[in-house]
């Protein structure tokens, strides 16, 4: 089973920030949090990842709580093209680094 829980769906107005939460209460100390998105049936697209500290790149920001039990992906100015399913994944640290996907959050950006 996936080690993360996310709300099944969210709406966001175009131009506003989209804040997507994720709970990962059983995360281990050396496990990373990854965010990917999938637009229609395309391949999952990497967005951002982090271990303990907050991270920012050209796509998004990742806020990880101090206890690391939850995180939030922030898309600062959502556009219609950000409509997708967003997956929060905790790396399965078995040595193979396989991903266990959950059902994700279906984000709909509204005009």
Q: Which residues pair with 1 in a beta bridge?
A: none
Q: Is 32 in the site for other proteins (CB under 8 A)?
A: yes
Burial of 107 (0-12, 13-18, 19+ CB in 10 A): buried
Q: Is 87 in the site for other proteins (CB under 8 A)?
A: yes
By C-beta, is 7 or 14 nearer to other proteins? 7
> Is residue 35 a contact point for other proteins (CB under 8 A)?
no
- Between CA 59 and CA 46 the distance in angstroms is 10
Rule CB under 8 A: is residue 108 a binding residue for other proteins? no
Does the footprint of other proteins cover residue 18 (CB under 8 A)? no
């Amino acid at each position: 089973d996936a080690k993360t829980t996310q709300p099944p769906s969210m709406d966001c107005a175009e131009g506003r920030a989209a804040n997507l939460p994720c709970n990962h209460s059983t995360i281990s100390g050396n496990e990373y949090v990854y965010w990917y998105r999938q637009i229609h049936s395309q391949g999952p697209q990497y967005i951002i990842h982090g271990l303990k500290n907050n991270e920012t790149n050209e796509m998004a920001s990742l806020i990880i709580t101090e206890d690391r039990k939850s995180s939030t992906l922030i898309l600062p100015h959502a556009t219609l093209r950000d409509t997708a399913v967003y997956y929060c994944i905790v790396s399965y640290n078995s040595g193979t680094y396989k991903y266990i996907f959950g059902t994700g959050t279906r984000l709909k950006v509204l005009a």
